[in-house]
Amino acid sequence: MSDSVEFENAVTEINEGVVQEVHSIEDIDTASDFELKHTPKIDLEELASGQRIKVTIGLKGITHPQTEEHFIEWIRLFVGPEPIGERVFGPADEPVAVFEIERSSEQVIAQALCNLHGLWEARV
């Protein structure tokens, strides 16, 4: 599956030092606007066949810019340790990713990369 191939290449790039640290928030009530606007928001919808997972960027209505200078480059999804897929964005794209997966009791992890502010993660 082509999603998986791109995904592995990008992970290697990250492991070589392009992005070192994964940011996440501990408590949404005390998070700063800077943290809120970078954090992936994971919405799960139950389907007869599994789950639809929609990932957007930003919590509490605080959205991230998407401009030439500052934008979300990609969103990735993991279910447990398993990479599910990746969506890549340019400055003109809305950073929204929708994935359909089989039913699973594993943790869902979404990661997003900001071109200026690094890698951000959320788990449900």
In the chain, alpha helices (H): 2-13, 33-38
Q: Which of 10, 59, 112, 114 forms a contact with Fe ion (CB under 5 A)?
A: 114
Does residue 36 belong to the site contacting Fe ion (CB under 5 A)?
no
d(CA 104, CA 114): 28
Using the minimum distance from each CB to Fe ion, give the nearer residue, 64 or 87.
64
Binding Fe ion (rule: CB under 5 A), the pick from 23, 63, 117, 121 is 117
Report the relative pairing of strands 40-46 and 50-57 from DSSP bridges.
antiparallel
- Give yes or no for a contact between 98 and 52, defined as CB atoms under 8 angstroms apart: yes
Give how many residues touch Fe ion by CB under 5 A: 3
Q: Among residues 36 and 79, whose Cβ is nearest to Fe ion?
A: 36
Q: Which residues bind Fe ion (CB under 5 A)?
A: 114, 116-117
